[in-house]
């Protein structure tokens, strides 16, 4: 994690230090949630964020960003490199950024190239994920760009050791060249609330059910097909089971079709993108994260803060285990084994106590945001 040694404050001027965060497409995903969490809790009198987002983004929290003092700057989609890179160079020069922080994983080579050409002195490459099965073309692209991840960056960040090793190499992590910046959250806002649980179960028509939950976009990475197979097996053994799916995405129609084909439509709730996810965790009995690949899934941290047991694929970083009730399973173990593991959480008690224990973990956003702010001020001061 970022150290807490003494640092020089370079933002004691009339205007705060502005950091350009290149976030790609804002579509309500986990990376955007991480950046927004840090932005909400950083000292904005000293540091402000500008969000450099693709103009085809669909879920941009512009009102909140601007209310907090930030800006959203739209640029051409990164798929249009001939327009994308010149637009970034122009944006970086016009705003005279001292720091550009890229959150595009392997694709970060492009904004960091633009930052180099624009003369930006501090250029951060941030790895938020790894790679996994089922995405041949995407993985070919990722692996072809990965060797260039360090070429234009001056600093390397990752959400977990695994994510750092994937993008920057194990030796770089071992040498301490990679700063691990946790996907921290405001833990207290997810604390177990039995009153909210009863209310949500009633609203969703799930009172008396064993509720399996999942939060994530409907994309290949999240592996909803496996989740549905697991749930079908679970229902054969636990008739009172229900599945609560939070999120949206391009594969949702396919998942809905599979649910209908398996005769599970009356047991699966598709609730779409919600602003009350903290409450929805209360309604769940176990969170399942069967992703093909992840860095440090923020949903697992949120769920544990709510005292939930979690079943995560072995592709997830073990560093997200705040509680001993979090288990990691290989997808190769099959849907039946995952269903058995989920059923093992059916009568688990002590949820309030687990939630209380999670509150003291290192994933608390306050101290993490303070450390990130100090880091920005330090490196900016060194570059001036």
Q: For residue 147, how many other CB atoms are within 10 A of its CB?
A: 11
Q: How far is CA 40 from the centre of its chain?
A: 15
Helix H or strand E encompassing 156: strand 155-158
Count of domains forming the chain: 2
What pLDDT sits at residue 295?
83
* Main-chain phi, psi angles of 327, to 5 degrees: -120, 150
Q: Tell me: do 128 and 198 sit in the same domain.
A: no
Q: Tell me: do 336 and 208 sit in the same domain.
A: yes
Among 343, 346, 341, residue whose Cα is nearest residue 330: 341
What is the mean pLDDT for each group of 10 consecutive residues in the chain (384 residues)? 42 78 91 95 98 95 97 96 97 98 94 98 94 62 79 96 93 96 96 96 96 96 97 96 96 98 98 94 97 91 97 93 96 97 88 95 96 97 79
The token pair that represents 85 in the structure block: 């890179």
Strands 309-313 and 326-329: parallel
Distance CA 95, CA 99 (A): 11
Q: Tell me: do 215 and 336 sit in the same domain.
A: yes
Distance CA 229, CA 232 (A): 5
Q: Tell me: do 156 and 212 sit in the same domain.
A: no
Q: Tell me: do 255 and 126 sit in the same domain.
A: no
Q: Tell me: do 253 and 297 sit in the same domain.
A: yes
For residues 258 and 286, the answer to whether their CB atoms sit within 8 Å is no
What pLDDT sits at residue 314?
94
What pLDDT sits at residue 144?
82
> Residue 283 belongs to a domain with what CATH number?
3.40.50.2000
Q: Tell me: do 193 and 225 sit in the same domain.
A: yes
In a domain, 373, yes or no: yes
Domain extent, residue 68, equals: 17-184+364-383
For residues 51 and 73, the answer to whether their CB atoms sit within 8 Å is yes
Q: Tell me: do 201 and 350 sit in the same domain.
A: yes
């Amino acid at each position: 994690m970022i150290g807490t040694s003494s640092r020089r404050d370079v933002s004691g001027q009339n205007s705060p230090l502005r950091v350009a965060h290149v976030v790609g497409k804002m579509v309500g995903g986990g990376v955007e949630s991480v950046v927004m969490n840090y932005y909400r809790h950083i000292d904005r009198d000293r540091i402000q964020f500008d969000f450099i987002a693709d103009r085809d983004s669909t879920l941009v929290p512009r009102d909140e960003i601007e209310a907090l003092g930030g800006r959203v700057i739209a640029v051409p989609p990164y798929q249009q490199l001939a327009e994308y890179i010149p637009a970034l160079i122009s944006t970086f020069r016009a705003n005279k950024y001292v720091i550009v922080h890229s959150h595009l994983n392997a694709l970060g080579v492009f904004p960091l190239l633009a930052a180099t050409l624009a003369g930006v002195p501090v250029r951060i490459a941030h790895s938020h994920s790894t790679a996994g099965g089922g995405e041949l073309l995407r993985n070919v692209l990722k692996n072809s760009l990965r060797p260039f991840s360090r070429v234009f960056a001056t600093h390397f960040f990752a959400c977990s050791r695994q994510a750092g090793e994937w993008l920057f190499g194990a030796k770089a992590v071992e040498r301490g060249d990679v700063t691990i910046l946790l996907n921290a959250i405001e833990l207290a806002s997810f604390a177990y609330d039995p009153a909210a649980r009863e209310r949500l179960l009633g609203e969703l028509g799930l009172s008396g059910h064993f509720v399996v939950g999942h939060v994530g976009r409907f994309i290949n990475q999240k592996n909803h097909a496996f989740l549905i197979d697991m749930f079908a097996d679970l229902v054969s053994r636990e008739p009172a089971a229900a599945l609560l799916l939070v999120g949206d995405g391009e594969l949702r129609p396919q998942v809905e079709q599979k649910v209908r084909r398996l005769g599970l439509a009356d047991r699966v709730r598709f609730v779409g993108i919600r602003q009350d996810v903290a409450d929805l965790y209360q309604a769940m009995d176990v969170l399942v994260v069967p992703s093909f690949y992840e860095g440090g899934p923020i949903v697992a941290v949120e769920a544990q803060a709510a005292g939930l047991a979690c079943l995560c694929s072995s592709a997830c970083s073990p560093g997200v285990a705040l509680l001993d009730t979090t288990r990691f399973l290989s997808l190769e173990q099959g849907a039946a084994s995952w269903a058995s593991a989920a059923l093992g959480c059916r009568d688990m008690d002590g949820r309030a106590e687990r939630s209380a224990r999670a509150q003291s973990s290192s994933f608390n956003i306050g101290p993490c945001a303070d450390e990130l702010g100090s880091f920005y001020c330090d490196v900016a001061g060194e570059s001036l």
